Amino acid sequence: MILGFAVAVAVCALLVALWSFLQAARKRLPDTPLLVALGVVELLLVAQLVVGVVLLVSGEKPGSLATYLAYLIGSLVILPVGAAWALAERSRSSTVVLGIACLAIPVMVLRLNEVWSGASA
């Protein structure tokens, strides 16, 4: 994996999480700019998926292929599920849900890089 890109994804997700929690503290509902920011993080995760697949196709191998693919694909699911929940409920707590979903992304990215560098399940 490309460490610098992974760090960029994690930092962007943390910034959006902070924004979500600030919105919740201000008693605001999820709004369009926040959802756009989530979309940007999701695009970064899609780019990470593409990079990961290209690395696999080029012959490089992670410590555990199944675990690597699970984290790679699983990281793509978190934000859409959080956004669906937030849009279905549209309350202050749904803004917190978006923040928590964003907090899960750096954890997934960190674990993805650990697995890539040789750690097993």
Render pLDDT for 28-71 as a digit per residue (tens, 0 to 9). Answer: 988 899 999 999 999 999 999 999 999 999 988 888 899 999 99
pLDDT of amino acid 121: 52
Closest among 113, 110, 94, 111 to 38, alpha carbons compared: 94
pLDDT of amino acid 102: 96
- Say if residue 119's pLDDT is above 80: no
Q: Give the pLDDT band (50/70/90) at residue 87.
A: confident
pTM of the shown model: 0.89
In the numeric block, the tokens 């699911």 are attached to: 77
